[in-house]
Every structure is written in structure tokens, then in C-alpha cells.
Chains A and B, each alone.
Chain A
Amino acid sequence: MTGQPLPPPDAPIAGQGDAKGTSPGPTTLRPARPRWRETLGLLARNPTAAVASVVLLLIVVLAVFDDTFAPEGANEISVTDRLQSPSWSHPFGTDDLGRDILSRVILGASVSLKVGFLAVGFALVAGTLIGLLAGYYGRWVDDVLMRVMDMLFAFPAVLLAIAVLAVRGPGSGNTALAIGIVYTPIFARVTRASVLGVREEVYVRASRSVGASDWRILTRHILPNAAPPIIVQTSISLAFAVLAEAALSFLGLGTQPPNPSWGLMLAEGRGYIELAWWLAFFPGMAIFLTVLCFNLLGDGLRDALDPRQRTLMAGGGR
């Protein structure tokens, strides 16, 4: 049986001192800022993460220049081309209204990614702010903010999003808001935990002792050093946001027809599943591929940003 020796959990991480800040070595006097060039280098050397990044970049380019890349208009109806199977003229086939599925999948990328980025952007800003304040100020601020987050967290995610959409009405913007609200507690928890790990570091105490304002300490010292888990969480949340948007649109609560959204296309294709499999297959593959790439990128980022993993990778092992 082969065991993988790991350092004890409370061992100081190179260049950071211990989590409690009680036995700072000389290296803790300077904040250990994430080394971006090194991180990107490690990410590039991780083949799965590198491939995932390239595929994601391609999907983003397709989404941004959707009108250029889509062979036909997403809503161009052609009765004579109804339910055509995949062919050279329509590589992903056509739907019940004769619309080109490939064009709709490309335009659907734009909708799905837009909702995903907006939702995670909202959750990132709100959750990080809440987590920063709760972790830094502690006491009643922490209690009040985190109990509210716990309440939101206790709701089943899909039902909470459905309830928000019931209040606000369906549509892409409201879907983004609903998903953003659902993911805010996760960012708040991740940020708070990360802040608790760095708030007593020597460089924070030193900054406080020379009279730096709370805002400066939070933005210049704590946030950059608490950032790695938040960045990893962002990538993973983007994957879940794309999935959630698809699920809500599948239920008819997200993006509304005739706008193409992968989830909506799946719902429309479900009725024709035995007659025309391609209607549901290709949008599903698009969701799967995008979510997979965000997840793989998240894993790669975690490996690259985790100092323990970084040391192991640099040493040739894992």
C-alpha cells in the first residue's frame, strides 16, 4: 500500500507563516501575493487545464461573435427544412420549425455564457464583500451576515431560484439575478474562511499599527492574499451557473422563446426525442462541454494556486 506523505495541516506554507500568525518567520513580513506568472505557467503545464482553457476561449469567441459564426439566423424559419437530420448543409440538423440547430447552439452560447457571467459576477461581488466584512470585523457583524447567508444556504438552490424568478418574472436578466442570489452565500463562506486565515498575519498587524484604514487593509492586504480560493470558486461557480441557467430555461422560467438558450432548446427537443434525437443531443453536448471545461479549469487553478500542490508539482510529483 503506497501512502502519499503530506505535511501536517498546521504546517506553515512556504512564504506565508502559519495560519494563526503566532510564529511568524522572517518570510511573513511581506504579504505572499499570488504569483500570477508562475500560476499561469503551472496552468499551462497542466494539459487538461490548458486544453479546457483553449476550448473555453473558443466558446467565448463563438459567443461574442455569434452573428459572424452562426451559418444562419437563429430564428430563420424554413418549413421545407423541418426536422432534417444532420447533414453537410445543416451539421447539427434542423428543428420542428426548420431552424438550423448549429446556429441556435452558437447563439445559445451567447445567452448561456452571458447569464453565467452576470450571475457569478453578482455572487462574486456580493459574496466577497459580505465575506470580507464578516471575516475582518468578526463579532456581531459576522454573526448577522453569516446567519443571513446560512438561511439562504439552507434553501434548496433550484427552488430558491424558482421563487426569485416567480417574484421577478422569467427572462435572462432575472435568471442571472436568481442564480447570483443562490451562489452569494458560497462566495461569502469561501471569502470569510480565507480572510480568517490571513487577518492576523504579521503584515496585516503591521499595516494596522501604522494607522492604515480598514478599507486599505481589506483591499490592499487581505483581499489579494485571500483571493486564490475565491478565484477557484469563481471558475467552479461558472460551471454550475451554466447548468442552473439551462435547468431554469428547461423548466420554462429562464430565457424565453424565441431566444435560443441551451436549456430551452433541450426542453423543445424533448418532445421530439424519438423522432429527431439531434434536437436535444447537441444543446446537451454544448452544456456538458462548457461545464466540463469550467470544472477542469477550476481544478487546474486550484492545483496551481494551492502552495502545497505547487511545491509537489514543481518537484515533478503530484
Chain B
Amino acid sequence: MFALVHLVPGDPVRLALGTRFSQESYDALRERSGLDQPLLEQFFGWAGRALSGDLGVSFRSGETVTSQIAERLPATLTLALASILVALVIAIPLGTISALRPRSIIDRIATVISQFGISVPDFWMGIVLILVFAGTLGWLPSGGYVPISEDPGAWLQRLLMPALVTGVVSGSVITRFVRSSVLEALGSDHVRTAQAKGLPTRQVFTWHVLRNALLPLVTVTGVQLAYLLSGVVVVEIVFSWPGLGQLALQAVQARDYPVLQGAILLFALVFLVINLVVDLLYTAIDPRIRR
């Protein structure tokens, strides 16, 4: 990634200084940002400082990268967690009911909903929602972010539409996994044995079907959460949501290497942490994995 970031054409120092600058200020900023050093030296210097939590200083704003990330992180976390909540609220009941009643009307409705969610461009859905709820009905603001500590009501109002858009898309993906994993668990030998033993339906479902269907659900929820924490740039732009995706996009456009490297390092860490949590959850859900 370091190499790719540095392959981006354009002089970041020139972009940071604007149109009018002296050679001295150009050289000074170039030296201060370490861009006058060989690439390998820049990489090891950056990696060494990153290990101690110093991600450098933004070329554009002069602020530290950690402070910029810390400023954007609450908005990103809020949207990602709200979206995954919406997704699970949609996916678990819908996927389970459609698996319990395959080929029924509810199964068909679930299939249509999940196909819609997977196929609809999220940014288009966002624009349509803004048109209806902000423009025509005037119920919700069209975008922006207010911290919960400032005004919980305004925070919720601004969160609803972006969370719904990203939640519907992720929920559609998760619905399909829930349906297929519940169907697979329903057809397994141990469920048939439990039914043959005469266990109550609720008990069979809770202890034998749902528990086995949880593993794929945890995996796909982890993947979706990682995506939501790093990949909703376009939705952030539609709703003027000041998240990390927008920060990374602005960094690419301004050739702001330290910010871009910092953001991507964070995305990679999120990916690793989520994978670790998923693995730990596996062992909690399925005792066979512990052995």
C-alpha cells in the first residue's frame, strides 16, 4: 500500500502549498514531511513511528493524522454499528422464517427483498430517500452529522437514512446466508434425531438449528461490519457524513500520503481485529472448535 500510495502521480507538496509559494517554503515543507528522503527510508521511518502511534502530519491541514482519524472515527463507528443493527433486524427474522417455510409466500417476499437490497445502488437509494423524506415530506434532514453528546434527537434524525440505506444492503446479503444456513441445519442428522426424540419444536430450533446456523451468520456479519467500517465512501458523500471513507477519498484527491496511509492502516487493523473476534466467537458458539 505504501508503494501504491506513493505511485499516485502529482506532487503533494505543490498541492498542499497551493498556487503561490516560494522555493524556500517548498523545500522546507518537503524536508519537514520527509519527502526528500529515499522511498525505502521513508517507509521504515513511517513504519517505525506508526508502531509508537505516530502516523505523521497531514500535508493539507497540518494536523496530526491520529487527531484527524480520531475526529472522524465516532461518525464511522456510529454509522457502521447502526447499519449492522438494521441489517441483523432485517436478516435474522426474514432469513429464518423463509427457511422454515421454503417456497411459501414469505419465502418469496424474502427473496425479492434480498434481491432488491443486493441489486440496488446504495447511493441511488440514498438520493431517493432524501427526495422523499427530506424534500417532499420534510420529515428528516438531508444529511450531516451531529454527535450524540450534543443533541441526541438531531443525531438520530441524521443517522436514520444512511443507516437504513447501508443496513438494507448488508441485511440483504446476511438474509441469504441465514436462510441457507438454517435450511442446512434443518436437514442435518442431529436435528432429525432431536425431532425423533420428541423434543419440543422450540427447543429443537433454539438448541440445534439456530446454534448451528450461527457460525455462518457470525462470519458474514463480521465481513459486513468490516465493509461498513471502511467501504461506504459513496453513501458518506450522499449524506454529507463526515466518516473515514470521505477522509480517505479526500486524501487520495489531495495526494495527502500520511492521511491515506493512516486511514488504510486503520482499515487493515479493523479487518484483522474483526477476524480475530469472529474466530473467538466461533469457539464460544461451537465447542467442537475448542478441541
Q: Do A and B bind each other?
A: yes
A residues 139-189 touching B (CB-CB < 8 Å) = 154-159, 162-164, 166-167, 169
What CA separation (Å) do A224 and B248 show in the bound complex? 42
Segment with Cβ contacts to B, from A79-87, A204-212, A269-277: A269-277
Interface: B59 (CB within 8 A): no
Interface: A136 (CB within 8 A): no
Tell me the dominant secondary structure on chain A's binding face.
helix
Asked if residues A291 and B119 are in contact (CB atoms below 8 Å), the reply is: yes
Which residues of B have CB within 8 Å of A216? none
Which residue from chain B places its CB closest to the CB of A293 in the assembled complex? B119
Asked if residues B249 and A251 are in contact (CB atoms below 8 Å), the reply is: yes
What CA separation (Å) do A60 and B89 show in the bound complex? 38
What CA separation (Å) do A157 and B233 show in the bound complex? 11
Shortest CB–CB separation between residue B266 and chain A, in angstroms?
Answer: 11
What is the 8 Å Cβ interface bit string for chain A, positions 257-283, against chain B (1 contact, 0 not)? 000000100100110011001001100
Which residues of A have CB within 8 Å of B128? 280-281, 284
Interface: A287 (CB within 8 A): yes
Which residues of B have CB within 8 Å of A263? 121
Segment with Cβ contacts to B, from A23-31, A68-76, A192-200, A239-247: A239-247
Asked if residues A288 and B252 are in contact (CB atoms below 8 Å), the reply is: no
Interface: B289 (CB within 8 A): no
A-B contact count (CB 8 A): 128
Interface: B61 (CB within 8 A): no
Interface: B1 (CB within 8 A): yes
Given A159-B231, A250-B234, A274-B135, verify A1-B100 contact (CB < 8 Å). yes
What CA separation (Å) do A256 and B262 show in the bound complex? 29
Shortest CB–CB separation between residue A282 and chain B, in angstroms?
Answer: 11
Asked if residues A288 and B249 are in contact (CB atoms below 8 Å), the reply is: no
A273 contact from B8, B130, B248, Cβ within 8 A: B130
Which residues of A have CB within 8 Å of B130? 273
Shortest CB–CB separation between residue B209 and chain A, in angstroms?
Answer: 8
Which range holds the interface residue count of chain A? 35 or more
A155 contact from B1, B102, B127, B201, Cβ within 8 A: B1
Interface: A89 (CB within 8 A): no
Which residues of A have CB within 8 Å of B8? 163, 166-167
What is the 8 Å Cβ interface bit string for chain A, positions 279-318, against chain B (1 contact, 0 not)? 0110010011001100110000000000000000000001
Asked if residues B230 and A159 are in contact (CB atoms below 8 Å), the reply is: yes
What CA separation (Å) do A287 and B120 show in the bound complex? 8
Interface: B4 (CB within 8 A): yes
Shortest CB–CB separation between residue A131 and chain B, in angstroms?
Answer: 20
What CA separation (Å) do A175 and B120 show in the bound complex? 20
Asked if residues B1 and A266 are in contact (CB atoms below 8 Å), the reply is: no
Shortest CB–CB separation between residue A242 and chain B, in angstroms?
Answer: 9
A1 contact from B115, B124, B204, B268, Cβ within 8 A: B204
Interface centre among A166, A239, A277, A291 (most CB of B within 10 A): A166
What CA separation (Å) do A250 and B233 show in the bound complex? 11
Which residues of B have CB within 8 Å of A296? 115
Shortest CB–CB separation between residue B196 and chain A, in angstroms?
Answer: 11
Segment with Cβ contacts to B, from A2-10, A32-40, A99-107: A2-10
Which residues of A have CB within 8 Å of B153? none
What is the 8 Å Cβ interface bit string for chain B, positions 114-133, against chain A (1 contact, 0 not)? 01101111011001101100
Interface: B7 (CB within 8 A): yes
What is the 8 Å Cβ interface bit string for chain B, positions 125-155, against chain A (1 contact, 0 not)? 0011011000100000000000000000000
Which residues of A have CB within 8 Å of B234? 158, 247, 250-251
Asked if residues B183 and A4 are in contact (CB atoms below 8 Å), the reply is: yes
What CA separation (Å) do A246 and B103 show in the bound complex? 34
Asked if residues B124 and A154 are in contact (CB atoms below 8 Å), the reply is: no
B residues 148-183 touching A (CB-CB < 8 Å) = 183
Asked if residues B231 and A288 are in contact (CB atoms below 8 Å), the reply is: no
Shortest CB–CB separation between residue B189 and chain A, in angstroms?
Answer: 8
What CA separation (Å) do A280 and B129 show in the bound complex? 12
Interface: B192 (CB within 8 A): yes
Which residue from chain A places its CB closest to the CB of B1 in the assembled complex? A155
Asked if residues B248 and A159 are in contact (CB atoms below 8 Å), the reply is: yes
Given A155-B1, A166-B252, verify A1-B233 contact (CB < 8 Å). no
Asked if residues B124 and A284 are in contact (CB atoms below 8 Å), the reply is: yes
Which residues of A have CB within 8 Å of B231? 156-159
Residues of A within 8 A of B (CB): 1-6, 8, 154-159, 162-164, 166-167, 169, 239, 243, 246-247, 250-251, 263, 266, 269-270, 273-274, 277, 280-281, 284, 287-288, 291-292, 295-296, 318
The 6 A-B residue pairs with the shortest CB-CB distance in the complex, in nearest-first order: A284-B124, A292-B119, A3-B186, A156-B230, A6-B187, A156-B231
16 example contacts (A-B, Cβ-Cβ < 8 A) are as follows: A4-B183, A155-B264, A158-B234, A159-B231, A163-B5, A163-B260, A166-B255, A169-B9, A246-B123, A251-B233, A274-B131, A274-B135, A291-B118, A291-B120, A296-B115, A318-B103
